[in-house]
Amino acid sequence: MIQSFAARGTVRAGLHAVTPAIWATLILLVSLLAYPLVVAIVDLARSSAGAATDIDAAWADGSLVAVMLNTAGVVVAATLFALIVGLGLAWVNERTDAGLPILGELLPLAPLLMPPIAGVMGWCVLLDPSVGYINLLVRNALIIVGVELSSGPLNIYSATGLVSVTALYLVPYTYLVVSAGLRRLDPGLEEASRIAGAGLARTLFRITLPSIAPAITAAALLSVIGGLGLFSVPVVIGTGARIDVLSVYIFRLIQNFPPQTGFALVLAAGMVTVVQAVLILQRVLVPGSRHAAIGGRGQRHSRISLGRWRIAARLITSGYLGATAILPLIGLIVVSSQSFWTPRINWRTLSLEQYRFVLFENGPTSQALINSLVLAVVAATAVMLIAGLVMIRTRFASGLARYIANVVTSLPATVPHTVIGLAMLLAFSLPPFRLYGSTAILLLAYVVIALPYAGQTASTGANAIGRELGDASRVFGAGSTRTFWRILLPLALPALVAGWSIVFIHTAGELTASALLSGTANPVVGRILMDLWNYGSFPQVAALALVMTAINAVFIGIILGVGRRIAAG
């Protein structure tokens, strides 16, 4: 009886925690995404006749068919590549003695440490067929054996280059999902297989991979969604290779004069439809009840010994770090120290002139840096406060309230960033808002885009809070508001700080929505980097990219340090 009354009291307290202000916040978040999408749908209905004409013309000349085939080919090939790499890294780190304790956790996430557009440009600096530094080294090596080449032999501006670099930015999706699946899998199953006489390869293909098949499927589908919305890689490498994919094609339709808005909206609606279909497919193929046996005892079982292959496995995983982060960084450093991009490096003429230029002398680049940092700080702070407030206050609420909060915060993840940028452009550029060319329209887009990251980390922090703490606080007379500020929020703060750093990274170098919403009046780093690259100002591109990378590293270091202090007490 006492327990029954206590349970009812807890439920009432939980429902009371979801105040009208929380409901108003949830409605506002839904409106922030729904209103632009509704405006886009209405605009599409109005321009359907013109859009049909544009589509017929593009279909007749074959350009639309080529874009669709290119998009499908790049996404599928990059997903398979990323799945193989991510699965290999996850297996080495989680199941073998070749895993690198700290470095191994960071390896798959290396592409995210640098703004994506900067990392892509770093690869172009290395593998440009004429002036790429790796190509220069290879050509010099070939001269020794009597082979002389005027360009190449490697070419980043190709289908292979586009797929390979795209895959590098999809590996984090596959690694995180697959490694989580491996951690949940009882290693005793694999040990029993080896004891029964099965070799390493047979155990891997007969036991391990089938057992984590749901995680592999989820990783593949998540990579497809990420690949469809990726913009930074195809806009640089795809443009050089003359391979258009859907996200870049939509951007060009808007940038053309006159803009083909109706046509762009049709293609954007197609992207949303494909993403939603993939999500439905994921729910069908990977239901929650079909995961493999969970033992939770991975730490109690010995790791697989790779013997003489251990060094080779570590070299491969370390090579991945070099390929995704260190090599592009070195390439950018060299180019940024030159007056112009040349493969023949004169070490005596290297200088910091380009850094002085982008930081102090060139108005657009310095203003873009300020805008990007301010927007990133404001967006990260605002979205984490909103997500933290909603997730923590609904932590002990009814199932319906928690479900609505989870759906609202995760909803933007189902809409490609290209579509969000286009919808924001249509909704907030016209009366009564007239926000085009302002930082406000960028801030709104960043908040929407960052909401899933903030919601997930805030939910993680909220779920770590035991119900008993809130109950004890209320037993001693504290109201729901005081309990929130004095008990719940401090306990969730480390997760909120981590979420802040994730949102900061994504918004500081965001390019997909920024390409549509940024202009001369509201420049941001992502758009400026793309424009400088198109203008051929390569040393300025490298300098600005490295400045932004350094700023990101400093901010993240400070925030994570603060987070560790908070967690420590």
Q: Which residues pair with 341 in a beta bridge?
A: none
| pTM given for the model | 0.78
Alpha carbons 82 and 205: distance in angstroms, whole number:
19
Chain segment 38-63, per-residue pLDDT in tens: 888 888 777 766 677 777 777 877 88
Alpha carbons 276 and 345: distance in angstroms, whole number:
49
Whole-angstrom CA distances from 84 to 76, 89, 405 are 13, 9, 35
Residue 158's pLDDT is: 92
* Tokens found for residue 77: 């090939």
DSSP category for residue 365: H
Which is more confident, 186 or 342? 342
* Residue 559 confidence (pLDDT) above 90: no
Contact between residue 103 and residue 321 where contact means Cβ atoms under 8 Å apart: yes
* Tokens found for residue 27: 């409605």
Contact between residue 448 and residue 35 where contact means Cβ atoms under 8 Å apart: no
CA angle 456, 460, 463 (to 5 degrees): 130
Of these ranges, 7-11, 189-193, 278-282, 416-420, the one predicted with the greatest mean pLDDT is 416-420
Q: What is the mean pLDDT of residues 298-325?
A: 69
Residue 198's pLDDT is: 67
Q: How far is CA 61 from the centre of its chain?
A: 34
List domains and CATH numbers for the chain: 1-46+355-569 (1.10.3720.10), 60-243+286-337 (1.10.3720.10)
* Residue 404 confidence (pLDDT) above 70: yes
Chain segment 512-527, per-residue pLDDT in tens: 888 888 888 889 988 8
Maximum Cα–Cα distance across the chain: 91
Alpha carbons 336 and 357: distance in angstroms, whole number:
11
Chain segment 472-529, per-residue pLDDT in tens: 666 656 666 666 666 666 777 777 777 787 788 888 888 888 888 888 888 998 889 8
Cα within 13 Å of Cα(465), Cβ side? 30
Contact between residue 267 and residue 416 where contact means Cβ atoms under 8 Å apart: no
Q: Which residues pair with 185 in a beta bridge?
A: 294
